[in-house]
Amino acid sequence: MTIGRGLLGGFTAVLVSIVAPTAIRAADVDAKQSVFAAIDAAEPTTAAIAHDIWQWAEVGYQEKQSSARLQRELSDAGFEVKAGLAGMPTAFVASSGSGSPTIALLAEFDALPGLSQAAVPDRQPLVEGGAGHGCGHHLFGAGSVAAAVALRGWMQEAQIAGTLRVYGTPAEEGGSGKVYLTRDGYFDDVDIALHWHPSDRNRTYASPTLANKSAEFRFTGEPAHAARSPERGRSALDAVEAMDFMVNMMREHMPEKARIHYVITNGGDAPNIVPEHAAVYYYVRHPDPVVLESLWQRVEAAAEGAALGTGTRVEHEVMHGNFSLLPNDVLIARLDANLRALGGVTYDDEEQAFATRLRANLREPDLELGSEREVQPITDELSMASTDVGDVSWNVPTGGVRIATWVPGTAAHSWQAVAAGGMSIGTRGMMLAAKVLAATAIDLFLDPQLVTAAREELERRRGPDFDYQPLLGDRAPPLEYRNR
């Protein structure tokens, strides 16, 4: 998968055709070729790191081995690493250089519960009921670190002014790790934040995401024998079901782009005991954080009404809250130019056979096999997902891309994503992502006007009266949220 001279030459030609001529200098192209070569040389190490994290499959706030592995790679490369930030033992920031601009690369590494899967194209859990990297965060973290290490080498050799940082951000999946880092000021002096995400396609996104907020609602009733003296009991499970019924009735009367979903996390202990305790875990989403808060208040009211109607008591614990992603056209254009200059990924015969067999297990794939070689058009269509990158993007100019690390047509949060992410298909996309991030960081370090323009756009988009107030309030990180 090493980039040869022919493709590097293609990068130069395509880059000149996409980006304004005044933004291209021979030194810029030489810098990118040098960094790409360093990324290619480190591919075996990067792939090994990603595979380690894939095997460990540690869920949010429990990513001890994964975080330590990334920290060690950065420390060995000369970065100054500080860990245990904002009350999160697995959060870290690694820094190199000094002065302005300060460019941050984001790195995630948490897995999802229940998605354990071998790197094979048929359903085969490694650990029954175990966790798996269904969102590819093992690739995300390792790819960002690979880009950072190569960039540091170039900055040292070329004596480039500025500060390069890697932010190790735990618990993206429902834990809002980046929100706590943002709330506690760790991004206050950052000029630009760059990120990427595994996907089934190559695309730069100019679209916002949904803001979201979650909480577990816990009801307490009175236990009693369910047959001999049910009149003495007050069922916490009745309260959960009453709340769920009322919230489901809300769906007809919500804005079209809103989303609500839930799981019952505790339904009682035995059918012949009126449940004393029961709980339900809710997510609420909407593109506008203000509208989201109004919907959230209605969900809280439904919980209180359910408690009142069933003679029980209710309390709730907010688990996480994320702002919508705020696009930045200046960064989107530069990321897209670099992605198009590099192109997509090409499978070898073994990967092609794997992809063909895996696609037989996909339900209604919306992309054809072969599209992994292409770069899709920029889209501003609303993404119905959510991410804690959103809070970063309202405070720092932020841009990102999605890269094909999964077989085309694969859904995120699926065993098929785990399977492809655990073999060379995932590695191919990860290495491409590292180069896109590195190339864009080089542009930003060498062109201060880009940084200024991105900041001006952020201030224009969020408005003069913007006052950041985290949706999760002042709560401490829920370090045990995956153990509930």
Q: How many helices (H) and strands (E) does the chain have?
A: 14, 11
Of the listed ranges 12-21, 344-353, 373-382, the least confidently predicted one is 12-21
Name the pLDDT band for 27 (thresholds 50, 70, 90). low
The structural domains of the chain, with segments of one domain joined by +, span: 5-208+324-462, 211-322
Tens digit of pLDDT for each residue in 419-454? 999 999 999 999 999 999 999 999 999 999 999 999
CA distance 237 to 226: 13
Tens digit of pLDDT for each residue in 205-225? 888 999 999 999 999 999 999
Percent over 70 (pLDDT), the chain: 94
> Reduced to 3 states, what is the DSSP secondary structure of residue 362?
coil
Closest listed residue to residue 326, CA positions, set 441, 205, 427, 412: 205
pLDDT at 7: 33
Name the pLDDT band for 196 (thresholds 50, 70, 90). very high
pLDDT at 447: 96
**3-class SS string, 287-350:** CCHHHHHHHHHHHHHHHHHHHHHHCCEEEEEEEEEECCCCCCHHHHHHHHHHHHHHCCCCCCHH
Contact 172, 108 (CB under 8 A): yes
Start-to-end CA distance of the chain, whole Å, equals: 43
Name the pLDDT band for 17 (thresholds 50, 70, 90). very low
CA distance 465 to 407: 44
Tens digit of pLDDT for each residue in 59-71? 999 999 999 999 9
**Which residue reads 């009735």 in tokens?**
249
User: By CB neighbour count within 10 A (0-12 exposed, 13-18 middle, 19+ buried), where does 395 fall?
Assistant: buried
Beta bridge partners of 318: 215
Name the pLDDT band for 20 (thresholds 50, 70, 90). very low
CA distance 65 to 51: 12
Residue 368: CB partners within 8 Å, gap ≥ 6? 408, 409
Of the listed ranges 4-13, 143-152, 195-204, 291-300, the least confidently predicted one is 4-13
Tell me the whole-structure pTM to 2 decimals: 0.91
Contact 96, 163 (CB under 8 A): yes
pLDDT at 380: 87
CA distance 246 to 305: 9
Q: What is the mean pLDDT of residues 228-253?
A: 97
Q: Is the pLDDT of residue 12 over 70?
A: no
Tens digit of pLDDT for each residue in 28-79? 888 999 999 999 999 999 999 999 999 999 999 999 999 999 999 999 999 9
pLDDT at 25: 62
pLDDT at 3: 32
CATH class of 211-322: alpha beta
> Reduced to 3 states, what is the DSSP secondary structure of residue 418?
helix
CA distance 484 to 216: 10
> Reduced to 3 states, what is the DSSP secondary structure of residue 310?
helix
Q: Is the pLDDT of residue 16 over 60?
A: no
pLDDT at 19: 42
> Reduced to 3 states, what is the DSSP secondary structure of residue 198?
strand
The pair of structure tokens assigned to 126 is 């490694």
Backbone angles phi, psi at 392, to 5 degrees: -60, -45
The pair of structure tokens assigned to 316 is 């709730």
Beta bridge partners of 107: 168
Q: Is the pLDDT of residue 10 over 70?
A: no
> Regarding the domain delimited by 5-208+324-462, which CATH topology (the fold level of the hierarchy) does it fall under?
Aminopeptidase (3.40.630)
Name the pLDDT band for 237 (thresholds 50, 70, 90). very high
Q: Which helix or strand (DSSP H or E) is residue 194 part of?
A: strand 192-199
Mean pLDDT taken over the chain: 94
Name the pLDDT band for 26 (thresholds 50, 70, 90). low
pLDDT at 484: 73
pLDDT at 15: 41
Name the pLDDT band for 11 (thresholds 50, 70, 90). very low
Q: What is the mean pLDDT of residues 294-310?
A: 98
Residue ranges of E strands in 255-407: 259-266, 277-286, 313-322, 398-404
Q: Is the pLDDT of residue 5 over 70?
A: no
Tens digit of pLDDT for each residue in 367-389? 999 999 999 999 888 989 899 99
What sections of 57-117 are H helices per DSSP? 64-76
